[in-house]
């Protein structure tokens, strides 16, 4: 059985080389902060709204990771699809895009293109950088922006979802817990 698996892997890698592609694996899952911050369920990339109320015209948010496997299509992303460097959400057929300004709310989803603003590098350390300016990182805001928080109430841990603004920021000015991401498959 081990020989068969090794043989299958060898044939697959030869096929990739023969076709002329790179041995990039497709990574689909939740794009999560490595640090859960104050949210025991974790913090994930999230398209604002949900299902019929999804709103791709407003900035993305860093949101409580959804635990229900059947209700997190707005948090599932594939790296390097449909083109190298893209971060794609298949449910809504959009890609992560950034505006040039380094400001709150500078991370969006838009129809996928070959634009430089839709190309990203996920560094080995977890920094997610626009390929056009690798001095910048996608970062979550240090404070939650959930309506309960804005009105002075404390969210109930494990019950209330929290959201944070996502923005581009100089990598060397952002603390690690706000800028290190990974794909949770």
Q: List all residues 6 or more positions away from 85 whose beta carbon is below 8 Å from its beta carbon.
A: 118, 119, 120, 121, 131
Mean pLDDT (whole number) for 78-95 = 96
Tokens of 111: 């129809």
CATH topology for the 26-184 domain: Trefoil (Acidic Fibroblast Growth Factor, subunit A) (2.80.10)
pLDDT in tens, 157-170: 666 788 898 999 99
* Res 160: pLDDT: 74
Q: pTM for the complete prediction?
A: 0.79
Output the CA angle 33-90-161, nearest 5 degrees: 40
Output the CA angle 73-75-81, nearest 5 degrees: 90
18-32, 80-94, 135-149 — most confident range: 80-94
152 vs 139, residue with greater confidence: 139
Q: Average pLDDT of the chain? A: 82
Least confident of 40-44, 63-67, 98-102, 134-138: 98-102
Rounded CA-CA distance 20/38 in Å is: 45
Output the CA angle 120-178-40, nearest 5 degrees: 115
Rounded CA-CA distance 96/155 in Å is: 28
145: pLDDT confidence band, cut at 50, 70 and 90? low
4: pLDDT confidence band, cut at 50, 70 and 90? very low
Residue 75 burial (10 A CB sphere; 0-12, 13-18, 19+): buried
1: pLDDT confidence band, cut at 50, 70 and 90? very low
pLDDT in tens, 117-142: 999 999 999 999 999 898 999 999 98
* Res 39: pLDDT: 86
């Amino acid at each position: 059985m081990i020989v068969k698996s090794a043989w299958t892997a060898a044939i697959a890698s030869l096929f990739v080389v023969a076709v002329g592609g790179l041995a990039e694996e497709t990574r689909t899952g939740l794009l999560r902060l490595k640090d859960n911050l104050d949210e025991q369920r974790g913090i994930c990339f999230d398209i604002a709204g949900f299902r019929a109320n999804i709103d791709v015209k407003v900035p993305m948010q860093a949101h409580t990771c959804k635990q229900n496997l059947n209700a997190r299509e707005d948090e599932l992303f594939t790296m390097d699809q449909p083109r190298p460097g893209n971060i794609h959400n298949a449910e809504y057929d959009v890609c992560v895009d950034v505006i040039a300004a380094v400001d709150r709310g500078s991370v969006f989803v838009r129809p996928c293109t070959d634009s430089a603003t839709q190309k990203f590098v996920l560094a080995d350390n977890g920094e997610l950088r626009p390929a056009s300016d690798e001095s910048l990182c996608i970062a979550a805001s240090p404070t939650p922006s959930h309506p309960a928080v804005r009105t002075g109430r404390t969210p109930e841990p494990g019950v209330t979802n929290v959201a944070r603004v996502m923005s581009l920021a100089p990598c060397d000015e952002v603390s690690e817990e706000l800028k290190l991401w990974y794909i949770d498959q």
